[in-house]
Amino acid sequence: MSETHKNGPFSNLFEMLKSGQIDRREFTLRALALGVGMPIISFVLRSEDVAARGGRQIGWGVAAQESVGKPAEGMDGKTRGEGGELKLLQWQAPTILSPHVSTGTKDYLAASPVLEPLMNYLADGTLIPNLITEIPTAENGLLAEDLKSVTYKLLEGVTWSDGEPFTAEDVVFTYNWIMNPENASVSSGVYSAIESMTAEDELTVTLTFADPNANWFEPHGGTVWGAIYPKHILDVEDAKGAHDSFITNPIGTGPYVVESFTPNDQVIYAVNENYRDPAKPYFASVNLKGGGDAPSAARAVLQTGDYHYAWNLQVEPDVLAELEKGGKGTVFVAPGTSVERIELQFADPNTEVDGQRAEKNTPNPTIGDLAVRQALNLAPQRDVISSKLYAGAPGEPATANILTGIAAMTSPNTTWEYNVEKGKEILEAAGWVMDGDTRKKDGVELKVTYSTSINSVRQKSQAIIKQALEEMGFNVELRQVDSGIFFDGSPGNEQNINHFYNDMQQYTNNATTPIPVAYMIGWYAGPDGENIAQASNNWNGQNYGRYQSAEYDDLFEMVRLETDINKAAEMFIQLNDILINDVAVVPLVNRAAGKSAISNELVAGNIGLSDFEVDYWNIANWVTQG
């Protein structure tokens, strides 16, 4: 490690902590102000705890910081476009390319070669600059010490792919576009902490927050929430028409432009000739092919070598191991915060009110009963699902928590149990008595619909859980929906996760930032239920299950304002525990951040799989071996 890194600001801060000059709270706040990710901070504090107890201190430096600005592997001597075609296989095909109205990772992925955020995350949560000159910190004067304002200095000379200059006005416009209710943006909850945003000059943007905000970086960090939109394209008289065109052919600052796009099938990208790095991207074109299934995608990389990369391999481990013997590629698994879960619908999906089913104030007669949810929570054989359908522990363990993978925020207070007989007892005591093959209460049959995307692993999970539920006396109707429809956020699509016109639905989601406010917003109702997916917001509210808890909402609003990260971590644990104790969701497996097939032709080290970024976030750095 160089002397520069040994004596860097974070290393000095760590020395102050060890010597007792500052306490843990001060260390945490200052580290955040330096742009250090929460996972690193948590790791350092844990290692210091070990030392304080007389144990062996974990050797720790600032190695993660060394990767900031580090040249991509294998880039020496490479020139723009010499790599030919990069072939990506994404079995969940993209539908739209406008991330601020997207609801599925498949769409965030497809937009990421074109649209970019101001900052990106390394896998450990550390921020790195992308469209800005440096990460704002208290030390460089760009982040207020009270965490109530932040200033971004934009890179000079960046242009949109059509040649127009990228300026501070684009950043401000994006914020205003997201917060305009007419656009029904899924990102509005994340950006709502911002009180105002001002373009000080062409390359300077200042944000202010109504309250101190330890999560100041969330709106503009990462490819999920941070995409900047071009003002000159969308701020026109026919704004809706402009965005309708943008959905299929966005103008961005990224390394590629869309050459052709067939929704639910294929995207072809060509090099953005106006991209700011004249040596990148290495590949002349990208062929993102959608459709099929996860096993076929894995086979096309690992066995036949027809593709370079296959995303999200939700495939049984023995199948992957056999395919890997083909010798054309390897399976890469990265631990993370993703949780395969069963979401529960608290509104009645079978009753229509004001033109919509699952209306937020119409209780679900089955799922609305806590006893039903408690019994349902006892049905999944999580250990069997983990070991037989996923990689098993430790890579993809069974879990009782919906927030996991961030050590400081993972609850130690929860457990899971598989117990059909106990489920029967709970239902019987609550008045759900057997009537033929199923239970009834007050004339209501214990019938549930259980939906998920078409995927062999998910269908096998459904079968395992259905069997246990039927033993308890449930009438279970399984539904499978094509992933292109299931994860498509279009307002007219009644089979997607937003509408959630079922009692149960299964899929995976993950924390997209190291301080997981944007993740836990999924159960926040908000004032007058404004965050609940409903017709008035084109079903783009983040709370799909229509869960409403004053206790949860109050605590969520508090954690958004908490600047003591140790206290915030405790509050996130409490939020998790509210959901688990109320059975607002049924977690199954803590899935890997990435489980992808990577061709032996690629430099795997350049593919930065992380829960905080989508897989193609740094596609400008992807190259072949040699």
pLDDT at 68: 34
pLDDT band at 12 (very low <50, low <70, confident <90, very high): low
Q: 3-class SS at 41?
A: helix
pLDDT, averaged across the chain:
88
Out of 310-314, 376-380, 455-459, give the one with best mean pLDDT.
Answer: 376-380
C-alpha triplet 373, 347, 467: angle, nearest 5°: 40
The region of weakest confidence among 71-80, 330-339, 532-541, 614-623 is 71-80
Are 12 and 65 spatial neighbours (Cβ–Cβ below 8 Å)?
A: no
Which residue type, as a one-letter code, is found at position 163?
G
Of the candidates 264, 258, 328, which has an alpha carbon nearest to the alpha carbon of residue 90?
264
Burial of 2 (0-12, 13-18, 19+ CB in 10 A): exposed
Distance of alpha carbon 41 from alpha carbon 418, whole angstroms: 36
pLDDT band at 6 (very low <50, low <70, confident <90, very high): very low
Of the candidates 479, 468, 571, which has an alpha carbon nearest to the alpha carbon of residue 516?
571
The region of weakest confidence among 37-46, 467-476, 522-531 is 37-46
Residue predicted with more confidence, 4 or 165: 165
Distance of alpha carbon 13 from alpha carbon 505, whole angstroms: 46
Of the candidates 382, 389, 386, which has an alpha carbon nearest to the alpha carbon of residue 319?
389
Of the candidates 531, 581, 534, which has an alpha carbon nearest to the alpha carbon of residue 560?
531
Burial of 22 (0-12, 13-18, 19+ CB in 10 A): middle
Q: Which residues, 6 or more positions from 66, have their beta carbon under 8 angstroms from its beta carbon? A: 1, 5
Mean local confidence (pLDDT), 477-497: 90
The region of weakest confidence among 12-21, 106-115, 122-131, 435-444 is 12-21
Helix (H) or strand (E) holding 485: helix 483-486
3-state helix, strand, coil in the chain (%, to 5): 30, 20, 50
Q: Which DSSP letter does residue 476 get?
A: E
pLDDT at 388: 93
Tokens 């301080």 correspond to 515
Distance of alpha carbon 414 from alpha carbon 398, whole angstroms: 12
Q: Which DSSP letter does residue 536 get?
A: G
pLDDT above 90: residue 586: yes
Q: Which residues, 6 or more positions from 4, have their beta carbon under 8 angstroms from its beta carbon? A: none
The domain made up of 339-590 is a member of CATH 3.10.105.10: yes
- For the entire predicted model, the pTM comes to 0.74
pLDDT at 73: 60
Phi and psi angles of residue 107, each rounded to the nearest 5 degrees, phi first: -80, -40
Are 34 and 139 spatial neighbours (Cβ–Cβ below 8 Å)?
A: yes
Q: At what angle do helices 565-581 and 38-52 cross, to 10 degrees?
A: 100
Tokens at 223, concatenated: 């490819």
Per the CATH hierarchy, to which homologous superfamily does domain 81-114+254-335+592-626 belong? Periplasmic binding protein-like II (3.40.190.10)
Distance of alpha carbon 253 from alpha carbon 111, whole angstroms: 11
Q: Which residues, 6 or more positions from 619, have their beta carbon under 8 angstroms from its beta carbon? A: 86, 112, 113, 255, 256, 281, 286
What is the DSSP track for 299-363? HHHHTS---SEE------HHHHHHHHTTSSEEEEEE--S-EEEEEE--B-TT-EETTEES-TTSB
pLDDT tens per residue, range 228-245: 999 999 999 999 999 999
Q: Which residues, 6 or more positions from 561, have their beta carbon under 8 angstroms from its beta carbon? A: 211, 212, 213
Residue predicted with more confidence, 189 or 270: 270
Mean local confidence (pLDDT), 316-345: 91
pLDDT tens per residue, range 604-617: 888 878 778 999 99
Distance of alpha carbon 11 from alpha carbon 29, whole angstroms: 15
Of the candidates 357, 360, 282, which has an alpha carbon nearest to the alpha carbon of residue 529?
360
State yes or no: cis peptide before 335, omega within 30 of 0. no
pLDDT tens per residue, range 127-179: 899 999 999 988 889 998 888 999 999 999 999 999 999 999 999 999 999 99
Chain-centre distance for alpha carbon 158: 27
pLDDT at 514: 79
Are 151 and 142 spatial neighbours (Cβ–Cβ below 8 Å)?
A: yes
Distance of alpha carbon 108 from alpha carbon 496, whole angstroms: 16
Tokens at 597, concatenated: 């097939």
Of the candidates 530, 418, 506, which has an alpha carbon nearest to the alpha carbon of residue 469?
418
Are 509 and 347 spatial neighbours (Cβ–Cβ below 8 Å)?
A: no
Distance of alpha carbon 626 from alpha carbon 624, whole angstroms: 7
Distance of alpha carbon 604 from alpha carbon 621, whole angstroms: 11
Mean local confidence (pLDDT), 470-477: 98
Residue predicted with more confidence, 256 or 338: 256
pLDDT tens per residue, range 508-529: 998 877 789 989 999 999 999 9
pLDDT above 70: residue 535: yes
pLDDT band at 29 (very low <50, low <70, confident <90, very high): low
Mean local confidence (pLDDT), 358-370: 97
pLDDT at 101: 94
Residue 475: how many other CB atoms lie within 10 Å: 17
Distance of alpha carbon 2 from alpha carbon 62, whole angstroms: 10
Tokens at 469, concatenated: 């539920």
pLDDT at 145: 83
Are 83 and 623 spatial neighbours (Cβ–Cβ below 8 Å)?
A: yes
Tokens at 271, concatenated: 């090099």
Cα 227 to Cα 98, 170, 253, 390, 544: the distances in Å are 9, 11, 10, 32, 23
Distance of alpha carbon 525 from alpha carbon 541, whole angstroms: 9
pLDDT tens per residue, range 385-420: 999 999 888 888 999 999 998 878 899 999 999 999
pLDDT at 41: 65
Q: Regarding the domain delimited by 118-246, which CATH topology (the fold level of the hierarchy) does it fall under?
A: Dipeptide-binding Protein; domain 1 (3.90.76)
pLDDT at 42: 56
